[in-house]
Amino acid sequence: MKRIGVLANPQVNGIGPTIDRFLTMAEKKGISVCLADDLKDVCRKDAGSFCHPAQLAGRSDIVIAMGGDGTILRAARFVGSAGTPILGVNLGRLGFLAGAAPEELEESLDHLLRGDYVVEDRMTLEARVGDRTSFALNEIVIEKGGLTHMVQVKTWMSDAPISSFFGNGLIVATPTGSTGYSLSAGGAVLHTSMEALIVTPICPHSLSLRPVVVPGNQTITVRVIAEHTDMMVTADGQTVAPLPPGETVVVRQAPYKVRLINLQGLSFYDLLRRKLDWSLDRRESRE
């Protein structure tokens, strides 16, 4: 490992000094660094080479994403099918996808140089709306905008109808995304090694409708019936397109996976306990 690409959120407080410190460490260890070109204004003038974020994967052995989970999801979109491993450095609040903290940068670099880390392959999604296809690591969301009226959501699973309900929309999440928006909407938590999808209704006006977990090879077709046009499709929180009345959204597993670096070797259950207080009984005494 001799080449690292760095993508970061330039709006994060203190990101410039953090990147400068990282560059100094990398230079001492003989690692070449390419920075996303939107970081030019926050880095030192002699920072070295810059390129468009979409070019980072091709010019790097590893891409480091500095920021919150949103920055890691952005890195995943740019890396796409290139297969370049991504290490998240958490500068945000939760950082569920991150594998390192900013105070651990030098130690993290040493681990990377020794190859002392685990790479996890994560299932991804693609959504087709009309002639446009978008990619997501976490989830595809079909939901209404600011209007208060409920909409009717019809869903088919590999051409078999499975639900029709009135509510605010629908989430199709990967196991990686099951701890995100889907969890907030009442969905189950899936282990990230699974090949499965979780389909979670958003505020269904029904006592019987619940999230459903389906095999990863299923194709999910969604059609929203509404009198208004205030509907949208988002991929990992980024707006894909407005959804015209009667238009369908087709969601399926993408033909490639995103590779995330687990630097600390933490299990999925360790992350649930550390990040989400999963299975935490506050009645228990702590050492």
Active-site amino acid positions: 69
| Cross-strand bridge partners of residue 170 | 142, 201
Longest Cα pair distance anywhere in the chain, in angstroms?
A: 62
Which residues are within 8 A (CB) of 147 and not within 5 positions of it... i.e. 6 or more apart? 228, 230
How far out from the chain centre does Cα 236 lie?
A: 6
DSSP state of 177: G
3-class SS of residue 222: strand
Determine the Cα–Cα distance for residues 75 and 79; give it in Å rounded to an integer: 6
Determine the Cα–Cα distance for residues 18 and 54; give it in Å rounded to an integer: 22
Determine the Cα–Cα distance for residues 131 and 277; give it in Å rounded to an integer: 42
